[in-house]
């Protein structure tokens, strides 16, 4: 018999949910199980029917995962992997540092990549490059920052080390910008880890919540406008902005489909939803499915039993100042970004069921590789899982 969670207090010492926290509340760890994981309780609605191959709903104040589907299934992450890039590099360079971008910095950008408009032989502040990463998902900005870090290969290695430190064992990094690359994958669980850790960093939280910004161009006083491509944040392309949304990052490639890590705050509760590759074919499916999962999470969180948990974010011992940022997270990062973005409504959702055969048919070969990889004594999978 599975043990249900005991009472959980969502408020930290400052009257807000505290991302540092003690160890997560005891929970039934169902995250290695296939399909949708949810523990029914009286008065708790069941999760909505969504088509994403994998998803996770987390209460960041308690680190409890309220429900999930195939949380550890390795899938190509697209630009949501830039959350790991930012976690790795943000602490390393002061935001006012200026980089004059060279042609070598921009070498190797894949055709079809999203671009912020970075130009060679032009100086950029590090803060401008980060706006290019978070708002435009610009691979040119990623390449420029990676060059500052010692190169593309070193940055990939550093990102993998960060993932390993966080316990993101489903993640294999082969491209710093998330572009489709053989052997690269992550999971909804790991991307949730990255989103949670990122929101303890003041700069990450601010960039992730920024809707529009000016971006230098032509080496002069002129600047072009950037708009965040996260439609659930800004409200564009037929998507209504989500009340209380505070970021984090969206992505798309032809191989990964649409991916999204989204955090929202209402009252003293902050939820994080990760959704990967919806299969419905509906326009804006990843945003509308994330909306439905967030609505469910806010309705269910007060009484829901956890199916697992994220570890509380820990400071990176290799990055000076990160420990202080993590210590002050409840008032200096996540909650500052959320302060002006609260309100909204919650909604009930219908109970649904699924068959194991349907899950296997949906997941295909990737699922078979996934479950083989999840066995501790088994060999690692070297290919993408989609």
Place of tokens 């037929």: 238
Is residue 188, in this structure, part of any structural domain at all?
yes
Q: Does residue 30 belong to any structural domain of this protein?
A: no
Number of domains in the chain: 1
pLDDT tens-place string over residues 125-166: 999 999 999 999 999 999 999 999 999 999 999 999 999 999
User: Quick one: residue 380, left, alpha or beta (phi over 0 = left, psi -120 to 50 = alpha)?
Assistant: beta
Whole-number Å distance between alpha carbons of 320 and 293:
36
> What does the alpha-carbon distance between residue 72 and residue 48 come to, in Å, rounded to a whole number?
20
Q: pLDDT (tens digit, 9 = 90+) per residue, 289-317? A: 999 999 999 999 999 999 999 999 877 66
Region for 149 from its dihedrals, namely left if φ exceeds 0, alpha if ψ lies in -120 to 50, beta otherwise: alpha
* Triad 100, 144, 230: Cα angle to 5°: 125
pLDDT on residue 221: 54
**DSSP alpha helices (H): ranges in 210-264?**
231-234
| Statement: residue 356 has pLDDT above 60 | no
Within 13 Å, how many C-alpha atoms sit on residue 308's CB side? 22
- Write down the H helix ranges in the chain: 82-89, 126-134, 139-148, 152-166, 188-198, 202-209, 231-234, 285-300, 322-327, 329-332, 334-338, 356-363, 365-374
For the chain, the residue count is 386
Predicted pLDDT of residue 222 = 57
Mean predicted lDDT score pLDDT of the chain: 81
Beta partners for 266? 269
Distance CA 290, CA 104 (A): 39
Which tens digit of pLDDT belongs to each residue from 3-22? Answer: 333 333 333 332 334 454 44
The mean pLDDT of 347-361, rounded to a whole number, is 28
**Residue 67 pairs with which residues in a beta bridge?**
57
Give the model's pLDDT for residue 29.
87
| Residue 198 is assigned to a structural domain of this protein | yes
Q: What is the pLDDT of residue 43?
A: 94
pLDDT at 378: 29
> How many whole angstroms separate alpha carbon 86 and alpha carbon 133?
9
| pLDDT for 223 | 61
CB atoms under 10 Å from CB of 50, counted, come to 24
Q: In the structure encoding, which two tokens stand for residue 41, read together?
A: 């309780």
Range of the domain at 220: 36-374
* Of the candidates 151, 150, 178, 149, the residue with the CA atom closest to the CA atom of residue 163: 178
* Whole-structure pTM value: 0.79
Question: Does the pLDDT value for residue 353 go beyond 70?
Answer: no
Residue 16 lies in a domain: no
Q: Does the pLDDT at position 258 exceed 80?
A: yes
pLDDT for 23 beyond 80 = no
* Both structure tokens of 120: 């060679």
Tell whether the model's pLDDT for residue 212 goes beyond 50: yes
Q: Residue 321 above 60 pLDDT?
A: no
Q: Is residue 9 part of a domain?
A: no
- Model pLDDT for residues 37-67, shown as the tens digit of each residue: 999 999 999 999 999 999 999 999 999 999 9
- Contact call for residues 166 and 198 (beta carbons, < 8 A): no
Residue 241 region, left (φ>0) first, then alpha (ψ -120 to 50), else beta? beta
Q: What is the mean pLDDT of residues 201-220?
A: 90
Instruction: Quickly tell me which residue has 């610009």 as its tokens.
Output: 138
Beta bridge partners of 37: 68
Residue 281 has pLDDT above 50, yes or no: yes
pLDDT at 7: 32
Q: How confident is the model at residue 219 (pLDDT cuts 50, 70, 90)?
A: low
CATH number at residue 94: 3.40.710.10
CB 61 within 8 A of CB 15: no
């Amino acid at each position: 018999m599975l043990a249900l969670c005991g009472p959980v207090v969502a408020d930290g010492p400052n009257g807000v949910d505290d991302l540092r926290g003690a160890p997560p509340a005891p929970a039934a760890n169902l995250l290695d199980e296939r399909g949708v994981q949810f523990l029914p309780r009286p008065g708790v609605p069941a999760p909505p029917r969504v088509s994403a191959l994998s998803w996770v709903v987390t209460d960041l104040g308690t680190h409890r995962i309220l429900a999930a589907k195939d949380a550890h299934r390795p899938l190509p992450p697209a630009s949501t992997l830039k959350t790991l890039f930012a976690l790795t590099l943000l602490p390393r360079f002061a935001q006012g540092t200026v980089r004059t971008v060279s042609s070598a910095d921009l070498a190797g950008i894949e055709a079809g990549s999203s671009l912020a408009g970075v130009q060679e032989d032009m100086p950029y502040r590090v803060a401008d490059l980060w706006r290019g990463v978070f708002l435009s998902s610009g691979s040119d900005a990623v390449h420029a920052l990676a060059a500052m870090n010692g190169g593309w290969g070193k940055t990939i290695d550093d990102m993998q080390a960060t993932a390993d430190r966080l316990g993101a064992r489903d993640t294999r990094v082969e491209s710093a910008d998330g572009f489709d690359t053989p052997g690269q994958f992550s999971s909804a669980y790991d991307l949730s880890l990255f989103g949670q850790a990122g929101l303890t960093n003041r700069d990450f939280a601010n960039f992730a919540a920024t809707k529009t910004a000016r971006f230098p161009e032509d080496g002069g006083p002129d600047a072009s406008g950037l708009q965040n491509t996260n439609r659930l944040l800004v409200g564009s392309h037929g998507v209504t902005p989500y009340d209380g949304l505070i970021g984090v990052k969206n992505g798309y490639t032809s191989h990964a489909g649409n991916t999204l890590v989204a955090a929202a705050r209402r009252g003293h509760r902050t939820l994080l939803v990760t959704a990967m590759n919806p299969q419905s074919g509906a326009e804006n499916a990843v945003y509308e499915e994330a909306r439905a999962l967030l609505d469910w999470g806010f309705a269910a969180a007060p009484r829901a039993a956890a199916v697992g948990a994220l570890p509380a974010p820990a400071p990176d011992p290799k990055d000076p100042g990160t420990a202080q940022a993590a210590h002050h997270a409840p008032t200096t990062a996540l909650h500052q970004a959320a302060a002006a973005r609260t309100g909204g409504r919650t909604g009930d959702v219908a109970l649904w069921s699924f068959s194991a055969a349907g899950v296997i048919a949906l997941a295909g070969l990737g699922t078979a590789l996934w479950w083989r990889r999840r066995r501790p004594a088994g060999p690692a999978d070297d290919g993408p899982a989609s």
